[in-house]
Amino acid sequence: MTPRLDQINRHRERARRERADLDAVLDAGHHVGTLSTVADGRPWVVPMLYGRAGDRILMHGSVGAGALRHVAAGAPAALCVVHIDGWVYGSTLFDSSANYRSAVVHGRLAALTGDEAAEALTQIAECLTPGRPAEVPPHTKKQLAATVVW
C-alpha cells in the first residue's frame, strides 16, 4: 500500500490544516524555504528566499539558473518551510527532540512579468526586510531582466 503524501502519520494531534496556521508558519522567521521538484528524472532541491502576499507565495531567482527555468516552465514543485521553536533535552538522546512548526505547499509556479514582477520583488523585499524598499532606489531594467519572479 502506497502511503498518502498529504497525510500526517506521526503525532497526528499536532497537525493543523487551517489556513491561518499555514500563513502563520509562512510569515514567521526569516522567510527561507526549500524548493523541491524533479528535473530530468532526478530530485532537485534548493534553498529559496520567499515572501507572501495574500494567497500568493512569491520567489525569485536568476534567469540563468537551469533548474529554476524547469520549475518556471510548469514542473510541479513543493516549498518546505521549517521554524524551530525550541530544543527538547530528554534524559537520553533518543528522548531528545525539537519543537518545530513546518509547512509544505505543493503547486506549480507561474512566472510574473513586467510591473507585476517588479511589484512582487518589492513585496518579497518587504517580507524579508520590512521598510527597506522605501529606503532604496527602485529596481532597474537591467536588474529586472536578470531576475525571474514566480
- Pairwise CA distance, residues 34 & 25, whole Å: 14
Q: Can you give the pTM of this predicted structure?
A: 0.80
Looking up cell 516549498 gives 79
Nine cell digits for residue 130: 520590512
Could you name the CATH architecture of 12-149?
Roll (2.30)
pLDDT in tens, the chain (150 residues): 554 555 665 666 666 678 888 899 999 878 999 999 988 888 989 999 999 999 999 999 888 777 677 787 788 899 999 999 999 999 999 999 999 899 989 888 888 999 999 999 999 999 999 999 999 999 999 999 999 898
Q: Where does 9-140 have alpha helices with state H?
A: 19-27, 66-72, 114-128
